[in-house]
Structure 1
Amino acid sequence: MALVHKLLRGTYILRKFSKPTSALYPFLGVRFAEYSSSLQKPVASPGKASSQRKTEGDLQGDHQKEVALDITSPEEKPDVSFDKAIRDEAMYHFRHLKDEIVAHWRGPEGRPLHDVLLEQAKVVWQFRGKEDLDKWTVTSDKTIGGRSEVFLKMGKNNQSALLYGTLSCEAPQDGESTRSGYCAMISRIPRGAFERKMSYDWSQFNTLYLRVRGDGRPWMVNIKEDIDFFQRRNQMYSYFMFTRGGPYWQEVKIPFSKFFFSNRGRIRDVQHELPLDKISSIGFTLADKVDGPFFLEIDFIGVFTDPAHTEEFAYENSPELNPRLVK
């Protein structure tokens, strides 16, 4: 119903205005906006149209084959069908939904179930082109008035992603903020048909596996679970990643049992295990309070099963802190 409401609202707005603007993109999607903008034709005024016809007649004598002017009279109306554009957008999502249902019947991600159960390692993100960078977003303390800068681009030979920038711990001059100095790279939440939120299921794996190359700075690896409660949007599970610096790649293996529970950057007294069956995103944060340039190069991010790691959870809980432990 929410999608129908958006489509109807977008249609009403477009019928009032002859040309769609970028403000309508959230209602009808980029594909619909591109479709409607491609159908728009300039409409000339009566005086300008007559002068253009005269100019065209003069040019036809000398350059009849080379000159081709597309002139629209005031009486002609652009052939724009917003209903057809809406149908095309809806059919696109329905086809996407059909592909998801077929893939679910065949098995997780369209693969046979026994192949998925026997899988010991999996590459979740890799960086081999611009489409891989589009799955990520970067942010810094500039959102609160800070001076840090962060950028993301493809590495050498399009075989990695390069996260770089400058960290500044200077607090914003707004009279309220007293701390600053962070840069982050966060994966976008995967989306299905009709913009439904999707999640990752890593329940059969026990270790996060990364191949990175840094400048010696420590990073925080953050994993968020798929939740719909607004009050819990700042909750995440975190652990440290220490880069060595130098020209050589390093392989980082972090067991999921080591990730601790935090809220708004503060470690909570009551700890919870990371729910591996509903992961929404992963991120990397630099906030080591050292001003200056930084870089982090990432080859791939994956998960795997380490048979030597048998630890279930690295942190203790007591009934005094967690009443749910009382039987």
Structure 2
Amino acid sequence: MALTLKMLDGVCHLNKCHWQNGFLFRPLLEGCNPRWYSSYRRPGMPPDKMPPWKRIDFSFQKGVEGIKTHFERFKKEIVDHVKGPEGRPLKQYMAEQTRVFWEFRSEEDLNKWIISSDVEIGGKSEIYLELGKNNQSAVLSGTLNTDVPRDGETRYSGYCSMKSKPHLVAFDRKKHYDWSNFNSLYLRVRGDGRPWMLNICTDPYFSHNKNDLYHYFMFTRGGPYWEEIKIPFSKFLFSSQGRIQDQQHALWLDKISTLGFTLTDKVNGPFQLEIDFIGLIMDRAHSEECAYELYERNPKKPKK
């Protein structure tokens, strides 16, 4: 077994094959670090002398159970597809006006999100996600620190973020959300007066669009009272690789991948954001498709 895994290790390094990401191998290989095939190593980290195949915990029983679970999910997908969109009758799906998409009532709800900060690049910011009082909300708290790490490469620091995990279906296939029946994002939050940036990532048609994002700011007023915030999707700004593009277009509501919150207001100190739920609404009074002027990239010059 050790010789077989060692040979697979060599083949993966030669062919850059991420075989451990497959749904058939993943349940069998518990405890395997998915980053072992990467050649990137942060400055100052000691070299890892343990071979990657020695860190693998092979479990045949867990593999069989995992494969059964995936086939059960696939069966449910087929049944839901026959019933209608998202497993509901078409009439009910088309008449829906509101929907609570994310709520925070248990640890399982918190596990649907990922938190990160500038610690990944050597920064000093801290962020925590936990359930609120009586398990009726999620509390996102921590400390923002804009000190730039002394690595000679990083120029800016000081950010904390929270991002939803991609929606996975049977065999770990990514499936995007369809929000085309709604035109506004609806949140019930309680903040400390800091501005947060909302980020929506769509499932790109091409690989070079993977860094495309849609942004809009959420301003919290602070204080002990909850506030309900409604943000039309037409207000979101289109950006690529962190730069707002001159050529704007409406958000692709039928290919939503993830939603995230980012704090980067360059103010050192503690922060706190409490979230009750994140929902969607259809505001019939709002008919705007895109709030920004659409310029042509290469406008034609008028003829003399």
TM-score by length of 2: 0.80
Partner of 1:276: 253
Partner of 1:13: 5
In structure 2, relative to structure 1, the CA distance for the partners of 1:179 and 1:153 (3 Å cut) is: same
* Native 8 Å contact 1:269 1:321 kept in 2: no
How far apart, in 2, do the equivalents of 1:180 and 1:122 lie? Answer: 36
In structure 2, relative to structure 1, the CA distance for the partners of 1:12 and 1:105 (3 Å cut) is: farther
How far apart, in 1, do the equivalents of 2:178 and 2:121 lie? Answer: 34
Deviation at residue 114 of structure 1 after TM alignment: 0.4
User: How large is the RMSD of aligned CA atoms in angstroms?
Assistant: 2.7
How far apart, in 1, do the equivalents of 2:2 and 2:142 lie? Answer: 39
Gaps spanning 5+ residues in structure 2: where?
9-18, 31-57
How far apart, in 2, do the equivalents of 1:30 and 1:133 lie? Answer: 23
Alignment of 1:171-320 (within 5 A): 171-227=148-204, 229-320=206-297
How far apart, in 1, do the equivalents of 2:202 and 2:243 lie? Answer: 17
Alignment of 1:55-134 (within 5 A): 82=60, 86-134=63-111
In structure 2, relative to structure 1, the CA distance for the partners of 1:120 and 1:11 (3 Å cut) is: farther
Deviation at residue 231 of structure 1 after TM alignment: 3.0
Give the one of 116, 141, 160 matched to 1:139.
Answer: 116
In structure 2, relative to structure 1, the CA distance for the partners of 1:132 and 1:175 (3 Å cut) is: same
**3-state SS of paired residue (2:109):** helix
Instruction: Kindly provide the amino acid, as one letter, of the partner of residue 174 in structure 1.
Output: D
Deviation at residue 213 of structure 1 after TM alignment: 0.3
Gaps spanning 5+ residues in structure 1: where?
1-8, 17-23, 35-79
Instruction: Kindly provide the amino acid, as one letter, of the partner of residue 180 in structure 2.
Output: S
| Structure holding more helix per residue | 1
Matched, 1:168 2:145: yes
* Native 8 Å contact 1:235 1:261 kept in 2: yes
Matched, 1:148 2:148: no
Deviation at residue 234 of structure 1 after TM alignment: 2.1
Measured against aligned partners, the alpha-carbon deviations of 1:210-235 in whole angstroms (never above 9, x if no partner) come to: 00000000000010001264432221
* Native 8 Å contact 1:270 1:322 kept in 2: no
* Native 8 Å contact 2:211 2:241 kept in 1: yes
Instruction: Kindly provide the amino acid, as one letter, of the partner of residue 133 in structure 1.
Output: L
Deviation at residue 250 of structure 1 after TM alignment: 0.3
How far apart, in 2, do the equivalents of 1:10 and 1:93 lie? Answer: 28
Which has more radius of gyration? 1
* Native 8 Å contact 2:185 2:231 kept in 1: yes
**3-state SS of paired residue (1:150):** strand
* Native 8 Å contact 1:121 1:303 kept in 2: yes
TM-score by length of 1: 0.74
Instruction: Kindly provide the amino acid, as one letter, of the partner of residue 271 in structure 2.
Output: F
In structure 2, relative to structure 1, the CA distance for the partners of 1:322 and 1:95 (3 Å cut) is: farther
* More moved, 205-214 vs 224-233: 224-233
How far apart, in 1, do the equivalents of 2:99 and 2:206 lie? Answer: 29
- Percent identical across equivalent pairs? 56
**3-state SS of paired residue (1:164):** strand
Partner of 2:15: none
* More moved, 251-260 vs 306-315: 306-315
